[in-house]
Amino acid sequence: MKNSFIIVGFFVLGVFVGLINLLPQVLAKADLSTYALYILMFLVGVGIGIDKKAWKILKNANFKIMLVPLTVIIGTAIGVIIVSIFLKDINIRQALAIGAGYGYYSLSSIFISKISGETLGVVALISNILREIITLLVTPIFVKYFGKIAPIASGGATAMDTTLPIITKFSGKEYAIISVFSGIVLTVLVPFLVTFVLKI
């Protein structure tokens, strides 16, 4: 959670630096961000590969547990397609890409900005931050009316870290593994699905 604030803090700081033209625009336009993204994604990959706990959880996956991330993917897609009808500036493909961030706002917004420009990147950033916040705030109600998988589905990729404590509290300890599993699968899929949706 602390990390989320720092991440958003850096973004906001950047916005101010940009607003008052503190830095020459050349810097923002330079390919620095492309190389940083290359390094980031390589490191994210190494982080996943090296994570023994993650491999253990993934190895013990069965059909039923696989249904949870699948529920998130299909449910999110249906939801954003429906609401995109009411948004005249966002087409279905863009809505699907933003939805495919599953709350992993740092990575999804960076990817979407790179592929579709900063405007959509900002929408993705705000939308996925809100997904995390909604999950943190509404989990008790989700569990009460939609069952114990609901906050895991709402949390998406964040169900493995930032929203895990609240999910465990309201869905119970026995759902913690399912939550982490679903979060890991979605986290790994985010860059692939976002790219796939926008490029194909």
Partner 1 sequence: MLTVLALMTAGVILGFLLRDKCKIIKHIDKLINIAIYLLLFLLGISVGTNRTIINHLDKLGAEALVLSIGAVAGSVTLAFFTYKYFFKQEE
Q: Looking only at residues 164 through 193 of this chain, which bind partner 1 when binding is defined by CB under 8 A? A: 191-192
Residue reference for tokens 């509404």:
138
Reduced to 3 states (helix: H, G, I; strand: E, B; else coil), residue 182 is helix
Q: Looking only at residues 62 through 101 of this chain, which bind partner 1 when binding is defined by CB under 8 A? A: 64, 67-68, 71-72, 74-84, 86-87, 89-90, 95, 98-99
Choose, by CB under 8 A, the member of 1, 49, 60, 177 that binds partner 1: 49
Choose, by CB under 8 A, the member of 1, 5, 47, 60 that binds partner 1: 47
* Tokens found for residue 184: 């890991």
Residue 23 sits in the site that holds partner 1 (CB under 8 A) = yes
> Is 72:163 a contact under the CB 8 Å cutoff?
no
Q: How far apart are the first and last CA of the chain?
A: 34
Tell me how crowded residue 75 is: count the other CB atoms within 10 A of its CB: 15
Instruction: Output 124 or 185, the one with its CB closest to partner 1.
Output: 124
* Nearest approach, Cβ of residue 165 and partner 1 (Å): 18
Calpha distance 127→168 (Å, rounded): 24
Site size toward partner 1 (CB under 8 A) is 103
